[in-house]
Structure 1
Amino acid sequence: MNLFERLQLSMAKRQLRARRAEFYFDLAMSLEDRVPLFSTFKKYEKRARKRDRGMALLYRHILRNAINGSLATALEGVAPTSELMMLDAAQTAGDASVAEGLRFLSGTVEKTERMTAAIKGAVMYPLFLIALFYTILLGFSFYAIPVLESIMPVTEWPASGKALAAVANGVRHYGLLMIGLNVVLFIAFMYSLAHWAGRSRRPFDKRLPYSVYRDYSGAMLIVSLASLMRSGISLRSSLEQAVRYSTPWMRWHVRSILRGISSANAENFGAAFGTGVLNQDLEDRIMDASERRDPVEAFVKIGTGSIDRIATSIEKSSARLNSVMLLLCGVALASMLLGFMATTQQLQSAVQKKTQQTSQRN
């Protein structure tokens, strides 16, 4: 496969990932009508040859992997790891279970897209505010402040103006370094979301912005476990399977849950989920479910019904984060304007004073 074909395949994966809810639903209907997946993918590949070469390459790739492995293996790069885990579990129970799992996934994806949109909003809005703040700061530093400096020495400025001049001087001399440092910090933060694991991470997961990632990932874990348990897989086996598809952060929590379940002092599985992987409300629901007559059935109900609640929780967390960022940027901009206005007023007073002195001499 040449470079151009690899690019086409990558773009096709992105397109299919965006509409995978409909894709899962179509596959489920085909299986319910007793049409083998091989025949369905073959038909999709033949149809795509006339419309989109990239999609034809993708369906050919899926066909190859489906023949040599499983549906989960075939959809690697298209579906997230949590969905691959559900597909892998469903396929072990036959086509009927796969059809049911695909239909369940179709509905789940539509709901999780709401959570994803909330997370994107939580990230993009603060980034927009930061970019706007930096743009205004650059304008002050390279255009407004130098004009004032050419008229009046900084030593004669008011305290707020001197502070603004110091910031502007720092931006002019170290602006690129500051931008680079912020980019590095942002990359480090994004990397830490999935890779920073252990007890040292737990206090941060209770606070923004890490709590948004915790809420989303914890909800997806419960949904994944509920899907596996619906297929007849035990909680322990479901957790062991989740380890295979988990990020380092989630893997630490899942292994801690497994140790909690295996503990001789464990009265029920609910206490084992107190690792910090879930928010307090969801953790309480899991604890209550573990104490009921049919804890597995109660767990499945919580998993299938928790997505909308978590989406609402994430939207509230996003709103709080956005409010904090808006307040911080507002205070910073107000301080800049205060320093600028105070300096211009003092400059006007100095000019008027010099004009009066000149008039008196004449």
Structure 2
Amino acid sequence: MTSFRNLEEAFIRFQFGGKDRLRIYRKLARLQRNRVTMTESLKTMWRHESNEGKKPKRPAAIALDAWRRRVENGKSIGDAMEGWVPESDRTIIRAGEKAGSLPEALDDAIFIHIGQKRIRTALIIGISYPFVIFCALITLLVIVGTNVIPSFSTIVPRERWTGSGAMLAYIADFVEVGLIPSLVGLVVLTFVILWSMPRWTGRARVYADRFPPYALYRLVRGSGFLLSFATMVKSGIKTTEALRIMIRGTSPWMKERLTKALAIMNDGTNIGDALYRSRMEFPDREVVLDLRTYASLDKFDEALTTIGRENLEETVTRIERSSAVMRNVCIGLLAAAFGMIVGGIFSLQSQITSTF
């Protein structure tokens, strides 16, 4: 029975997604700005989410009820949210509570979520369109290789095909013999690259991060790092402590970069110089130069927030630009293949006409 309850609770927490979370963050921030106590805020939101108690099994209502009980037992809201929201959100919220700026911390958590969602959306759109074109190209080659070309070979033997018509014979041979192994190899290569992105470390990886697709991974992860780091520092967390928090539970790739920077900062170096001296080129060279400029100046937290937000916009723009390049390349390949096939068919028709 205990296992079933744990499974049920895990499923409910899974259903409590980003949309519900952001809605509650916004309401809680507004209530806190109006000086409503935390317990009363949670009770009010529970009544609304449960439709005055008529639907208490809604994930958001269950979450709010769990938070209320924990708060009434003496926990802070940041601690009460454990298990229900991402650890990065809890870190920002707890820091905001300690600094007496909980509404601002909730706003920052919302901004980070929206920013990361924008990046994910840009990535999905950027990858899906070239993927569809690639599938169309493979489908075209299969149709031509299995249906069109064999019908011509029954009229004129392949050995007599010349010019662009001879290229169709190579396409048919590739579809028959090489297509499946090539697709399998491409899938394996894609899996290896995706597996290595968060795991591959070392000096060779630093050089690989300069080129696609690893450069895109560094861009996305670097933007997420800046947003989270800026929010933590703005909430009053020391830069070294913010890095320690972010190191916990992160990927080997990110851990290597943050650990090296932290080791340098332990000697009194600021975050900008530490990232520069680590020679990891993370988040990227321009951002590191900006951090080196502002880290030793007053109001670094404000400058860091500005850098993080500007980098978010730049990241989305770069992803969209890279996606446009990939899309144009795929369209070019599809057009070239279509043109080659059409030219080959006309060439074969001419050979058939001259033969008969």
Contact 2:50/2:56 (<8 A) preserved: no
Of the three residues 259, 273, 283, the one matched with 1:271 is 273
1:74 aligns with 2:83: yes
Q: Is structure 2 residue 26 aligned with structure 1 residue 22?
A: no
Matched, 1:289 2:294: yes
Say which of 338, 347, 351 aligns to 2:352.
347
- Work out the CA distance in 2 between the residues paired with 1:10 and 1:342: 63
User: 2:38 aligned with 1:9, yes or no?
Assistant: no
- Quick one: distance in 2 between partners of 1:324 and 1:340? 24
CA distance in 1, matches of 2:11, 2:46: 19
C-alpha separation in 2, matches of 1:338 and 1:330 = 12
- Matched residue, 2:139: 135
Taking only aligned residues, the RMSD between alpha carbons, in angstroms, comes to 3.4
1:301 has 2:310 as partner = no
Structure-1 separation of matches of 2:191 and 2:168:
29
Farther-moved stretch of structure 1 (48-57 vs 186-195) = 48-57
2:108 pairs with 1:104: yes
Which residue number in structure 2 is paired with residue 357 of structure 1?
none
Deviations 1:269-290 (Å, cap 9, x if unpaired)?
Answer: 3132232222333222212212
Distance 1:88 1:168, change over 3 A: farther
Q: 1:4 to 1:249 in 2, by over 3 A?
A: closer
2:189 is aligned, of 173, 182, 185, to 185
Q: Which moved more, 1:295-304 or 1:190-199?
A: 295-304
Aligned match of 1:360: none
Q: Does 1:197 align with 2:197?
A: no
Offset, 1:44: 6.2
- Describe the SS at the equivalent of 1:194: coil
Relative to structure 2, which stretch is displaced further, 62-71 or 124-133?
Answer: 62-71
* TM-score when normalising by structure 1: 0.79
Q: Does 1:34 align with 2:59?
A: no
Please tell me the residue identity of whatever aligns with 2:231.
Answer: S
SS at match of 1:114: helix
Identify if the C-alpha distance between structure 1 residues 296 and 230 changes in structure 2 by more than 3 Å, giving closer, same or farther: closer
- 1 CA distance for matches of 2:120 and 2:267? 35
Tell me the alpha carbon deviations over residues 45-75 of structure 1, each in whole angstroms, 9 at most, x when there is no partner: 7449755956368638964996798255222
- The aligned residue for residue 313 of structure 1 is 318
Q: Could you say which residue in structure 2 is the equivalent of 1:247?
A: 251
Q: Over residues 87-146 of structure 1, what are the superposed CA-to-partner deviations in whole Å (9 max), with x where a residue is unaligned? A: 45445x17x433321122223333433222211122112211111111111111221111
Q: 1:305 to 1:166 in 2, by over 3 A?
A: closer
TM-score (norm 2): 0.80
Would the aligned equivalents of 2:22 and 2:110 in 1 still touch at CA under 8 Å?
yes
Distance in 2 (alpha carbons) for counterparts of 1:60 and 1:35: 11
Q: Which residue of 1 aligns with 2:285?
A: 280
Partners of 2:214 and 2:309 in 1: CA distance: 24
Percent identity over the alignment is 23
| Conserved? CA contact 2:243–2:258, under 8 Å | yes
Tell me if structure 2 keeps the 8 A contact 1:193–1:249: yes
CA distance in 2, matches of 1:223, 1:122: 22
The structure that is helix-richer by fraction is 1
CA distance in 2, matches of 1:188, 1:51: 46
Alignment gaps of 5+ in structure 1: 355-362
Offset at residue 155 of structure 1 (A): 0.8
CA 1:17–1:345: 2 relative to 1, 3 Å? farther
CA distance in 2, matches of 1:328, 1:65: 60
Contact 1:49/1:56 (<8 A) preserved: no
Alpha-carbon contact 1:219-1:307 (below 8 Å) kept? yes
Q: Deviations over 1:309-349 (max 9, x none)?
A: 33223322322333333334433443343333333332333
Q: How does 1:206-285 map to 2 (within 5 A)?
A: 206-262=210-266, 266=269, 268-274=270-276, 275-285=280-290
**Residue matched to 1:358:** none
Return the letter of the residue paired with 2:38: V
